[in-house]
Structures are given as structure tokens and as C-alpha cells.
Amino acid sequence: MAEEYKGQIEAGIATGFTKAKTFLYIVLPQAVRQILPVYKGEFISLVKMTSVVGYIAVQDLTKASDIIRSRTFDAFFPLFMVAVLYFLISWLLSLSLSYVEWVTDPKARRKQA
């Protein structure tokens, strides 16, 4: 990353910014704009993959669904509710990360205004 922003770091220091301010105000916003779309997809995939971990040892929504199914012998409703909850969680995370992406990308703000 340092090679990619080397000229901008030099320009920031030449204009009187400290190294910390150069990183905070020049390099970091550009890096966030580049990594945020990838991070958003990976973060949501990670949340979805916790259901797989639930069958191994972690008590999460899927494990709670298994407990309800074993007590009520109703297979459809608990799994349906878990699917709805995972969808809502993923949707809210996607919306929040899209908002962060919108805040950090001035081009997106200009298009919407």
C-alpha cells in the first residue's frame, strides 16, 4: 500500500501535514473506498457462515432452532424463522456498510444529490 500512495504521502508532507495527518486525511479515505466493497461481502459471508459453525459447537440461531425442533417436533417453523432472522441480519449489515461506503465516497454522494 505504501508504494501505491507514495506520491500522495510525499505531497501531504510537502504541504505541511504530519505523517499521521497525511495518513488520516489523504491515504486512509482512499484505502477505505477501495477495500470497503470487498470487506462488505466478506463480512456478510462471515455472518452467514456462523450457521455452519452452529452445528459444531457454538450455540447460535441454528442451534436454538435445533433445540426447538427437538422439543416441538415442528421442523418447518423454527428453520423458517432462522432463515428470516439471518436475512434480516444480513440485510441490516449490508445497509449499514452501504451507508459507510456512501459516506466515504464523494462520487456516490454527488450522484444522489
Per residue in 75-101, pLDDT (tens digit) is 888 888 888 887 887 788 889 888 888
Tally of helices (H runs) and strands (E runs) in the chain: 6, 0
At 106, which amino acid appears?
Answer: P
Per-domain residue ranges of the chain? 35-112
pTM of the model: 0.58
Average pLDDT score, the chain: 79
pLDDT at 57: 41
Mean pLDDT of 60-76: 83
- Dist CA 89 CA 76 (whole Å): 20
What's the average model confidence in pLDDT over 27-49? Answer: 81
